[in-house]
């Protein structure tokens, strides 16, 4: 399976964002994972659509925008206009999930659904024929640098089975590093997000190591 790598810019140096994001691009990353937090759905705040639109001007790889918002529907159009290529919405957020998917599709963006650690995989079933991505959280959303929750591996296998022959990306986010990457990929993930591990030291070298582990 071709595994894609999505560095999470949450761990970038925001005082040197252009430098760090150019390094992401040069390292051969497949997506830029952009974490959007509202201080309500999760206890942290990142940025809004205006900042994403500005970043879009300097980065050309696809933007994988992970919305951690209580009311995602209110902001879908703005993040789509800002240049998101994929927008993922938490199934635990307020409002109707179907309406969110429809709003994303209407903007010509790929829709995805996110499962927090305590949310069972079955919740996603009714939407399988309408989404391009399932994002499984391997940590409680809100912060980078947390440890991979072991039970996630079973959920990845379950989702891979549910996907069957559909062309849905199965992305995993949180706690992925040189030690946990192999387990996640072997369980069936084909998109891996990593923040603190990839941004520590040299992005290019870390990405090379990721690719080696994936190829093992």
> Least distance (Å) from ligand DX5 to the CB of residue 173?
5
Pairing relationship of beta strands 133-137 and 191-194 according to DSSP bridges? unpaired
- C-alpha separations of 132 from 64, 90, 201 in Å: 12, 14, 32
Using the rule CB under 6 A, is 93 a contact of ligand DX5? no
Checking phi first, is residue 95 left (phi over 0); if not, alpha (psi -120 to 50) or beta?
left
Q: Which residues are catalytic?
A: 35, 173
Binding site partner of 132, from ligand DX5, Zn ion, none, Cβ cut-off 5-8 A by kind: none
> Which range of residues in 30-38, 57-65, 160-168, 175-183 is near Zn ion by CB under 5 A?
30-38
Asked whether the CA dihedral 188, 83, 141, 212 is positive or negative, the reply is: positive
Q: Which residues pair with 169 in a beta bridge?
A: 133
Per-residue x/- track, 79-98, Zn ion (CB under 5 A): --------------------
End-to-end CA distance of the chain: 12
Residues forming the site for ligand DX5 (CB under 6 A): 8, 10-11, 33, 35, 66, 139, 141-146, 173-176, 193-197
Residues forming the site for Zn ion (CB under 5 A): 35, 66, 173
């Amino acid at each position: 399976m071709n595994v894609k790598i999505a560095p999470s810019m949450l761990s970038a140096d925001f005082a040197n964002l252009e430098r760090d994001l150019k390094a992401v691009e040069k390292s051969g990353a497949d997506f830029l994972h952009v974490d959007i937090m509202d201080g309500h759905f999760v206890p942290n705040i990142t940025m809004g659509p205006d900042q994403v639109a500005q970043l879009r001007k300097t980065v050309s790889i696809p933007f994988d925008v992970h919305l951690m918002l209580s009311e995602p529907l209110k902001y879908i159009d703005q993040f789509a206009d800002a240049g998101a290529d994929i927008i993922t919405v938490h199934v635990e957020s307020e409002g109707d999930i179907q309406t969110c998917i429809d709003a994303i599709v209407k903007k010509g963006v790929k829709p995805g659904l996110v499962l927090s650690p305590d949310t069972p995989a079955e919740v996603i079933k009714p939407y399988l024929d309408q989404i391009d991505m399932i994002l499984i959280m391997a940590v409680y959303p809100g912060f980078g640098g947390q440890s991979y929750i072991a039970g996630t591996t079973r959920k990845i296998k379950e989702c891979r089975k549910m996907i069957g022959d559909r062309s849905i990306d199965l992305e995993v986010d949180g706690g992925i590093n040189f030690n946990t990457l192999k387990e996640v990929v072997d369980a069936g993930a084909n998109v891996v997000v990593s923040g603190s591990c990839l941004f520590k030291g040299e992005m290019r070298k870390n990405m090379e190591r990721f690719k080696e582990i994936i190829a093992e």
